[in-house]
A and B are shown apart, each in its own frame.
Chain A
Amino acid sequence: MRSAAADLARPGAAWAVPGLVFFCLFALVPMVGVVYLSLTSWDGLSDPQFTGLQNWSRFLGDGQMWQDTVVTAVLLVGNIVVQAPISILLGVWSAGKQRNRAVLSAIFFLPLLFSTAATAVMWRQLLDPNFGIPAKLSGLIGDTNLLGSQSGAVACLVLVTSWQFIPFHTLLYQGAARTVPETLYQAAAIDGAGRVRQFFAITLPQLRNTIVTSTIFMVVGGLTAFDIVLLLTDGGPGTDTSILPFAMYQTGFQTYDYGYASVIASFLLLLATGASFVMVKLSGYDKMTSTLEGM
């Protein structure tokens, strides 16, 4: 005989079946497939030929892959450094009660509604050296050759990605900032804390869990996002902005070297899993402690 309370506490394992089936079908099976393909040579036409670790040893000695990994990391860090502060500030601001808040927030959120393809095509036109923004600001930008240098192209990628995704993260922070109890601010005001002090002593610590969530989104999203690179710079100039997901696409779907592309995919899989695992551990996110504990 089991008590009703025990039944309530733990739902049966059967409830996990639909989720598990989907996970196996659309995540595990392809992952195993990719690992298998990484051990073969396959052009997509004939049958895959088993070649053992040949692709992997080529990968380890491939200077371009090392560069791609570095560029991936630079873009990732650049995006976090630019997006996190701006979206925290915007989010906290838009959680307030100002009169123009609703209208301005709506305008800030607009880029979120555009598809990446539309965003990239639009920005390519805007970044045209002869007819776009650089031509009008040639005093500031110099030779207007923004997409023609590695630093310029990376900066453009960070700019456009930030423009597109800051609204999303702002939305996260806005929601989180609204849950911070008003009483905390009232108490701080009585103790004589100004707005800046209140932000650092109350708002930021209260947003801790959201910061972790938003950063994980940025890291995992950054590791898999290649559409903006494909459409804005196509990996150029040369291979200067080729990131791992882009290299995977190009190797697989442009040069039909599915074996080697699978190596890159497997490496990305390891990288993304590892990165989110480390972040969750480091931040103590897995313990799920509430920021409202003791109140």
Chain B
Amino acid sequence: MKNITASRKRACITLAVSAALVVTAAGCGSSSSTAKSSTGSASLWMLQDPTNSVSQSAVDAYNTTGPGKVSMNVIATDGYKDKLRTAMGSSAMPGIFFNWGGGSLSDYVKAGKLVTLDSDLISHFLPSALQAGTVDGKLVGVPSRGTQPVFLFYNKKVFTDAGVTPPKTWTDLVNLVPVFKAKGITPFAVAGTATDSWTELMWIEYLVDRLAGPDLFSKIAAGDWNLWSDPAILKTAQMVKQLVDSGAFGSNFASVSYGAGGTSTLLDKGKAAMVLMGSWEYATQQAADATFAKSGLGYVPFPSVEGGKGNPADVVGNPTNYLSVTTSAPSQTAEAFLKTTYSDSYVAGLVAKGEVPVTTNAKAALAKAPDPTYAMFQYNLVANAPSFTQSWDQALGLTLGTPLLTVIQKLFNGQDTPEQFVSGVLAIKH
């Protein structure tokens, strides 16, 4: 009994002292950040997906050598962000955690929860993939997964039958619309239900980049919301409207869902000629119809837009996923563990799972990819891109991204005019 009271008393004192420390030192909510040794055990939160085994081997290998230990927790996709958000607001925050970079991190950076990472890490990754891991000029996330650029997928057979080639310019793209429409084929599959309006966002992202270059959006993401009034935004909305009105997406796209049973099946069955989608479309097609993925599925970069200021080699999409370190992690352990993300064995493991890592040493490993041609296409697309704009909903974070998706959906549905689109977006941040 006595021991318990004594230890309780000690705990109380510790609490009081650390509380006082926190109040005087930072005024931040987590008391664990004040008294941390530099090595020790760090928890690692990963999103559940097929590459978990690769991460687990990296953790196992790391734990045999150290310094410190890393313990991995795999968390289901649904609710990952909610769970992370809740944990980050409490004292139970993870030491190292998987994330999407950009806006998903900026709140945590502002709240002082994240550690700025060692700049020596930079040289090991493709520059365009690091943009989204940098918030307010601080490197807070290192790439931990493959890259997922967005580009045009097409059905080879449908194109051969129509005697046409995939578009290289916007004019090509517009001219292809009547060709496929005449054959009763939807030129572009797009998923227009509210859940899937991010597939519509991809069109806007590319058009703005091609018209104005990547700076416009990066300034908006950095906080200058009034830049939505830039003429390039209105021009983009008008081009989208023309495309919709010309029947490029068919007439019922507002009820179409993404993926198998929706857009992917439309492309596979030849009911649609093309789809603008992230690189994961290949895996979706492979799961549904492996023969089509192997021989029937074509892919090209998004076309250039005549007269636009943007570089046609720019890409948009998910540069990669990131690992970030919180103030609760033992610093040396976390830093040493992050170095495993560009080790040869980790990169080879990702490649075997069909991922295209964004490390500088990945090119050699890609020869062993399940489909080396496809892997090299993506790697070169990203390596040669002067800029890789992160998907806007990710870059802005959910607070701004969710209402943005709604406004985009209204533009595609014809509920809003291009002018209303611009004023609608401007009204999101009051």
Contact = CB atoms under 8 A, between A and B. Distances in A.
B285 to A, nearest CB: 16
Contact of B398 (A238, A239, A254): A254
B413 A238 contact: yes
A129 B255 contact: yes
Contacts of A256: 85, 107, 398-399
A240 B266 CA distance: 26
Contact of B254 (A43, A44, A237): A237
Contact of B252 (A45, A129, A235, A254): A129
Contacts of A233: 193-194
Contact of A44 (B86, B192, B416): B86
A238 B262 contact: no
B256 A129 contact: yes
B261 interface: yes
Contact of A255 (B108, B262, B402, B416): B402
A23 interface: no
Interface in B86-142: 86, 88-89, 107-108, 111, 113
B89 A130 contact: no
A125 B261 contact: yes
Contact of B194 (A131, A234, A255): A234
A47 B403 CA distance: 24
A149 B402 CA distance: 20
Given A146-B255, A254-B398, A45 B88 contact: yes
B257 to A, nearest CB: 6
Most chain B CB within a 10 A radius of its CB, from A130, A134, A254: A130
Interface string B395-415: 000111011001001100101
B82 interface: yes
Contacts of B266: 130
B271 interface: yes
A254 B402 CA distance: 7
B231 to A, nearest CB: 25
Given A43-B107, A129-B255, A239-B406, A234 B193 contact: yes
Contact of A128 (B89, B111, B256, B416): B256
Contacts of A43: 107
A147 interface: yes
B242 interface: no
B197 interface: yes
Contacts of A239: 406, 410
B255 A255 contact: no
Interface of A: 43-47, 124-125, 127-131, 134, 143-149, 233-240, 250, 253-257
Given A237-B410, A254-B402, 5 more contacts: A147-B254, A148-B255, A149-B254, A238-B194, A256-B398
5 contacts: A44-B85, A44-B86, A143-B252, A236-B197, A254-B398
